[in-house]
Amino acid sequence: MSAVPVEVGVVDVVVLRPAAKGWLTLVLERAADTRCPGAWEMVHGKVEPGESLPAAARRELFEETGLKPEKLLSVTMHSFYLVPKASVQLAAVFAAIVAPDAA
């Protein structure tokens, strides 16, 4: 039996903004011309070669929203099987706290 490769190749970012009565969470609606059109999801993306996981989370957050975190917290890791690569992918999950006035 051959081993299934395991890769840390993805980051997920939960975007949180402080509000008067707790926290607001940002979710993004996928464009009509993309995979899973109209789906709602958190910020996520691939880790570039040589990039640290926190750097990837910050980059993806900025690329997808234009926001920069005031604080970035490591939350957890989760795994999933990626059929095209026949590999188990590990996703690093971060919480990005943005400014109260972030739009």
Asked, for residue 44, whether it belongs to a domain, the answer is: yes
pLDDT tens, residue by residue, 68-98: 999 999 999 999 988 888 888 899 999 999 9
- φ/ψ region of 75 (left if φ > 0, alpha if ψ in -120 to 50, else beta) reads alpha
pLDDT of 2 > 80? The answer is no
Token readout for 2 is 């051959």
CATH of the domain at 92: 3.90.79.10
Task: Assign 3 to helix, strand or coil.
Answer: coil
pLDDT tens, residue by residue, 3-58: 777 888 899 999 999 999 999 999 999 889 988 889 999 999 999 999 999 999 99
Number of domains the chain contains? 1
Query: What is residue 54's DSSP assignment?
Result: H
CB neighbour list of residue 3: distance below 8 Å, 6 or more residues apart = none
Asked, for residue 58, whether it belongs to a domain, the answer is: yes
pLDDT of 62 > 80? The answer is yes
pLDDT at 1 (0 to 100) = 58
Rounded CA separation 72/58 (Å)? 8
pLDDT at 78 (0 to 100) = 94
